Amino acid sequence: MVPVPSQVDSTESIPSTVKRLREYFESGATQSSTWREEQLSALVTMLEVEEKAILDALAKDIRKCTFEGHLSEIFSVKNEAIEARDEVSAWMKPEKIPMSLIGGIAASTRVVHDPLGVGLIIGAWNYPIMLTLGPLVAAISAGNTALLKPSELVPTCAALISRLVPQYLDKNAFAVVEGGIPETTEILAQRFDHIFFTGSPPVAKIVMAAAAKNLTPVVLELGGKSPAIVCADANLGTAARRVAWGKFFNAGQTCIGVDYAIIEDSIYDEFLDRLASTVQDFYGPLPQQSPDFARIVNEANLDRIHQLTDGQEIVIGGQTDRDDLYLAPTILRDVSPDSPVMQDEIFGPVLPTMRFSDLDEVISFINAGEKPLAQYIFSGSRQKQDRIIAETSSGAVGINDTLSQILIPGAPFGGVGQSGMGAYHGYDGYLAYTHRRTVLTRSAAVDPPVRYPPYSDLKAKLTGWLL
């Protein structure tokens, strides 16, 4: 047997790698529940055994602290893999479809779940483990093979994924490509059966255009300006802590992170004071020295984010150290909706804040922009919570909390509109990589002539009953 390469070491070898993955899929080796369960168990083992190596890589690439790395990168994927492993046999069972009383006498209908084939997973740099291996859980649970492309902006993590995946998982079913734009361009020139992309809307359009050439289905996990709405009846102490955590976790480089806060006017000043105090509680008077505050991924992003604070009134923060890729947790006061910081997703540790006097203003403002990936509502009123949910649209909603919705393995995670399309996690991830195929079985012993020519008015009336 010809040895299978453990990684893709050149752009020229990408087409042959995809061909190899397709041949293995077509062999039927990935179809059984046993194979899927074994691969998911192997993934869990990898996360457990290689925990230190993963945390070290995250620390080296983006200075992610141990707590944040474990919670968002290891714990989240591990839980997804365990749930999928334990449930996949049940997910794979055919669905029985009810038929009419008469038409079902000699027939039955079921829906079987077919794997799509060879998937492409393009990961993101901000959560390089979760956003590469999380989609892989879904691909495995549905019985697919996959080519993984981790982000080149986190080279230590990309190299680690490239080394660990073939070490722990089926080398015939999975391959990893490192590299940047040339490698990604060559990858997108190949035909896949599914593409999973996490990143920005501009790049998503390139991915979707490539997918369109082969009518390949896609899941796009993007982002947007996810608001935190803080009403006067909220528990302000808890709200301040959770908004700050949802904003400054991973130095604000989180697709579902709080992008801006819109705060009821009567509590605006008090809430800003609580936010500023919370930042100091979290990171001390010198956040740059805190072991719990991450760094910006590169100088270009640091410069971009810092420029957004120009001309703004800064409540706290604003300091930078370009050599250290450091931008302090920053809160802005009374930001104009027309300012540059309110035009696009910030993706960094800068929190613009605005005021509102009634919910009509909030709802109109949110609906005037693109649909965000997440929306956070801080209020003690169920009526207010329900109204905001009913009259706005977002990928997900957190009530009196931030970020935590992504950690629930069985809850679908996905965007809407500009924040993405499709969903994954749990059964939704399984379905994303599955074709639900209808299978009708009808007895050959019973063959009523009602559906055959010559037709008549009576046959037309009876057809719906008998078929």
Q: Is residue 453 part of a domain?
A: no
Mean pLDDT of 75-91: 97
What are the pLDDT digits (tens) for 106-135?
889 999 999 999 999 999 999 999 999 999
Domain co-membership, 245 together with 365: yes
Residue 1's pLDDT is what? Answer: 38
Domain co-membership, 359 together with 234: yes
Contact between 133 and 77 (Cβ < 8 Å): yes
| pLDDT band (50, 70, 90) for residue 464 | low
Contact between 258 and 371 (Cβ < 8 Å): no
Domain co-membership, 266 together with 344: yes
| pLDDT band (50, 70, 90) for residue 101 | low
Q: Which of 80, 221, 264, 370 is catalytic?
A: 221
Q: Is 65 a catalytic residue?
A: no
Which of 7-16, 182-191, 346-355, 425-434 has the least mean pLDDT? 7-16
Closest by CA to 170, choosing from 13, 9, 46, is 46
Q: In angstroms, rounded to a whole number, what is the distance separating the alpha carbons of residues 202 and 457? A: 57
Q: Is residue 5 part of a domain?
A: no
| pLDDT band (50, 70, 90) for residue 466 | low
What are the pLDDT digits (tens) for 46-71?
999 999 999 999 999 999 999 999 99
Contact between 342 and 332 (Cβ < 8 Å): no
What are the pLDDT digits (tens) for 235-290?
999 999 999 999 999 999 999 999 999 999 999 999 999 999 999 999 999 999 99
Domain co-membership, 73 together with 35: yes
Mean pLDDT of 460-464: 77
467: pLDDT strictly greater than 70 = no
Residue 8's pLDDT is what? Answer: 60
Domain co-membership, 71 together with 38: yes
Q: In angstroms, rounded to a whole number, what is the distance separating the alpha carbons of residues 272 and 453? A: 78
Q: What angle do CA 165, 79, 89 make, to 5 degrees?
A: 85
Q: Is residue 144 part of a domain?
A: yes
| pLDDT band (50, 70, 90) for residue 449 | confident
Domain co-membership, 270 together with 393: yes
What are the pLDDT digits (tens) for 354-399?
999 999 999 999 999 999 999 999 999 999 999 999 999 999 999 9
Phi, psi of 284 (to 5 degrees): 80, 180
Read off the CATH number of the domain in which 88 is found. Answer: 3.40.605.10
Domain co-membership, 168 together with 240: no
Structure tokens that stand for 293 in this block: 């505050």
Contact between 263 and 230 (Cβ < 8 Å): yes
| pLDDT band (50, 70, 90) for residue 448 | confident
What are the DSSP E strand ranges found in 87-242?
95-97, 107-115, 118-122, 145-149, 174-176, 194-198, 218-221, 227-230
Q: Is residue 103 part of a domain?
A: no
Domain co-membership, 311 together with 196: no
- Cut 0.85: pTM above it: yes
Domain count of the chain?
Answer: 2
Which residues are bridge partners to 122 per DSSP?
149, 197
103: pLDDT strictly greater than 90 = no
Q: Chain-wide mean pLDDT for the chain?
A: 95
Q: In angstroms, rounded to a whole number, what is the distance separating the alpha carbons of residues 371 and 105? A: 48
Q: Is residue 6 part of a domain?
A: no
Domain co-membership, 184 together with 218: yes
Domain co-membership, 287 together with 206: no
Which of 173-187, 321-335, 450-464 has the least mean pLDDT? 450-464
* 344: number of Cβ within 10 Å: 16
12: pLDDT strictly greater than 90 = no
Domain co-membership, 35 together with 171: yes
| pLDDT band (50, 70, 90) for residue 437 | very high
On the question of a cis peptide bond just before residue 454, with omega within 30 degrees of 0, the verdict is: yes
Q: Is residue 98 part of a domain?
A: no
Residue 447's pLDDT is what? Answer: 83
Residue 453's pLDDT is what? Answer: 92
Tokens 């006067």 correspond to what residue?
232
Q: Which of 83, 157, 255, 345 is catalytic?
A: 255
Q: In angstroms, rounded to a whole number, what is the distance separating the alpha carbons of residues 449 and 467? A: 11
Q: Is residue 443 part of a domain?
A: no
Residue 446's pLDDT is what? Answer: 81
- Burial of residue 393 (CB within 10 Å: 0-12, 13-18, 19+) is middle
Nearest-Å Rg of the Cα atoms of the chain is 25
Contact between 424 and 80 (Cβ < 8 Å): no
Structure tokens that stand for 203 in this block: 């790049």
Give the DSSP letter string of 53-114.
HHHHHHHHHH---HHHHIIIIIIHHHHHHHHHHHHHHHHHSPEEE---TTTTTTEEEEEEEE
Q: Is residue 289 part of a domain?
A: yes
Domain co-membership, 157 together with 217: yes
Residue 9's pLDDT is what? Answer: 57
What are the pLDDT digits (tens) for 293-302?
999 999 999 9
Q: In angstroms, rounded to a whole number, what is the distance separating the alpha carbons of residues 100 and 105? A: 8
Q: What angle do CA 423, 426, 427 make, to 5 degrees?
A: 80
Q: HSE (CB half, 13 Å, CA atoms) of 236?
A: 17
Read off the CATH number of the domain in which 274 is found. Answer: 3.40.309.10
Residue 3's pLDDT is what? Answer: 45
Structural domain that includes position 163: 11-93+113-222+418-436
Q: Is 255 a catalytic residue?
A: yes
Mean pLDDT of 21-40: 98
